[in-house]
Amino acid sequence: MAKGDGSITEVKKPDGTSYAPKHWKVRIDLGTNPITGKRDVVSRNIKGTKSDACKLRDQLKADLECGLSANADKMTFAEFAEQWQQARETAAEISKTRLRRERTIVEDMCSYIGGIKLRDITAQTIEGLYMKMRWDKTEEKGKCSGTTMNMIHKLLKQILSRAVDYDLILRNPAEKVKAPRCDTPDRRSLTTAEARRLLATIDEAENEAYASRDAIEERQEKRGDTSERSYLRGLSSIGNVMAARIGLATGMRRGEVLGLTWGHISFARGTIRVTQSVTTYGEVKEPKTEAGKRVIAVDEKTIEHLRRWKQFQREELAILSLEQTRDTPVCCNDKGGLIAPTNFSRWWRSFTKAHGFEGLKFHELRHTQATQLVAGGMDMKTVQHRLGHASATLTMNLYAHALPENDAQAAQLIGSLFSETPSEQARQEGALRVAV
């Protein structure tokens, strides 16, 4: 709280003459700091007339009377955004992947409004920012999705909300701006026939990967090469195929599949325990929610394939003088370690393109899992659990799609109901009364 009217003093040159334009020092006394026991003073310098200095003093006093911080008039968006980002990184409560994504977005925003003072950012400023960013991204990349702009809006709103908490601005201007609408992507779900064909393709690819790996080892033996090796070419091919098999059988996320170790597999119970995930940057982290930690039942055929692979992998890793343990990745690379998500995605694109599934995203195996289970009559709670969702509503809205074959049956049913004659309806109603 300001004490008194504040002071305005002209700052002169060493020789006692005035600057042109004149320089002024504005000081506002905030009183004694209860912690340090010293006087807190807000001081600002300004060039111009004394009237300009008076306006600055009045503005500072008004800000302080409203409860704003003493630095509210100086802080730029870039300065505060950097503080906000550093605080989030220091808290270590958010994954490094998300922090990197946020920093990229913040740096992008700062290239437009970084030099603007927080107090000068208005709803109109933000709308202009979105328009300019959308235009530039479209010019650069040919498109700018609504989902991207929505993400930018949410992050900007968070930053400015924290600025309100710190008394740097009175209200959040982003709250007055309508959030850009997220794009609703066309989510593909395999039909029953397509899913069966994909599984048959995976079976074939797995056998070929085993045969290829054996052939590589045979050639190694024929050459008499007994030198120590640090990797086994072709081992990751089997690991990739196994990841595809697990994804189709369980609907698990890419990161969850690649994060599986043998300690997560129970052959006796026929289950997979999901407790961790691998990020795009290769970091292992826990699921975002408690619902993400789950135990999933797996069909017998998949369990048999996993059992065969575990034995094969154990023998292969021994060549590298590595021991297979509970912590060994189920889907391993050529060195027996975790498969990088980006490497798997590259393999998946090549695999699907080569076998007539071009454009199929690995995540769409999740859509397929939910859709097939719902269409087969499985209760929504079980589907929700398998996918690791916190609510069944999310499962239904995101992943449950109508199957063409079921839609055709529905059409036949409704057609037969509407085309029945009154006598046929009466007979059916009579039969129902007798049954009751």
Whichever domain contains 97, its CATH number is 1.10.150.130
Do 94 and 42 sit in the same domain of this protein?
no
Do 153 and 126 sit in the same domain of this protein?
yes
CB atoms within 10 A of CB 353: 12
User: Residue 76 carries which DSSP code?
Assistant: B
130 in a structural domain: yes
For the record, the structure tokens of 286 come out as 């826990």
150-166, pLDDT tens digit by residue?
A: 999 999 999 999 988 88
Across the chain, mean pLDDT equals: 86
315 in a structural domain: yes
Please give the average per-residue pLDDT across 331-337, as a whole number.
97
Global pTM?
A: 0.67
CA 108 to chain centre: 18
Residue where a domain terminates, one of 41, 65, 89: 65
Q: At residue 270, does pLDDT exceed 50?
A: yes
Please give the average per-residue pLDDT across 261-278, as a whole number.
96
Do 208 and 110 sit in the same domain of this protein?
no
The residue ranking higher by pLDDT, 391 or 403, is 391
385 in a structural domain: no
Q: At residue 420, does pLDDT exceed 70?
A: no
Residues 258/243, Cβ–Cβ less than 8 Å:
yes
Residues in the chain: 436
388 in a structural domain: no
Please give the average per-residue pLDDT across 288-309, as a whole number.
93
310-319, pLDDT tens digit by residue?
A: 999 999 999 9
Do 142 and 172 sit in the same domain of this protein?
yes
Q: Which of 2-11, 97-106, 144-153, 246-255 has the highest mean pLDDT?
A: 246-255
Please give the average per-residue pLDDT across 258-285, as a whole number.
93
183 in a structural domain: no
Do 237 and 336 sit in the same domain of this protein?
yes
CA 40 to chain centre: 44
Q: Residue 21 burial by CB count (10 A; 0-12/13-18/19+): exposed, middle or buried?
A: exposed
Best CA proximity match to 59, nearest among 70, 49, 11: 70
Residues 259/315, Cβ–Cβ less than 8 Å:
no
| Stretch among 98-112, 181-195, 234-248 having the lowest mean pLDDT | 181-195
53-110, pLDDT tens digit by residue?
A: 888 777 777 766 665 556 667 789 999 999 899 999 888 778 788 888 999 999 999 9
Residue where a domain terminates, one of 44, 65, 86: 65
Do 354 and 205 sit in the same domain of this protein?
yes
Residue where a domain terminates, one of 65, 86, 106: 65
402 in a structural domain: no
Do 220 and 338 sit in the same domain of this protein?
yes
Domain count, the chain: 4
Do 52 and 125 sit in the same domain of this protein?
no
- CA–CA dist 400, 391 (Å, integer): 13
Do 269 and 306 sit in the same domain of this protein?
yes
Where does residue 299 fall: left (phi above 0), alpha (psi -120 to 50 degrees), or beta otherwise? beta
What is the number of alpha carbons within 13 Å of residue 115 lying toward its C-beta? 2
Do 235 and 271 sit in the same domain of this protein?
yes
**Which residue segment(s) compose the domain that 41 sits in?**
3-65
Residues 6 or more apart in contact with residue 286 via CB below 8 angstroms = 275, 276, 277, 292, 293
Residue 145 backbone dihedrals phi, psi, to 5 degrees: -75, 155
What is the number of alpha carbons within 13 Å of residue 71 lying toward its C-beta? 8
For the record, the structure tokens of 129 come out as 């920012």
Residues 274/247, Cβ–Cβ less than 8 Å:
no
The residue ranking higher by pLDDT, 272 or 378, is 272
- CA–CA dist 273, 232 (Å, integer): 28
Do 43 and 87 sit in the same domain of this protein?
no
370 in a structural domain: no
Rg over alpha carbons for the chain, rounded to the nearest Å, is 32
53 in a structural domain: yes
Helix (H) or strand (E) holding 282: none
- Burial track 278-301 (b if 16+ CB lie within 10 A, e otherwise): bbbeeeeeebeeeebebebebeee
Do 223 and 334 sit in the same domain of this protein?
yes
CATH number of the domain encompassing residue 320: 1.10.443.10
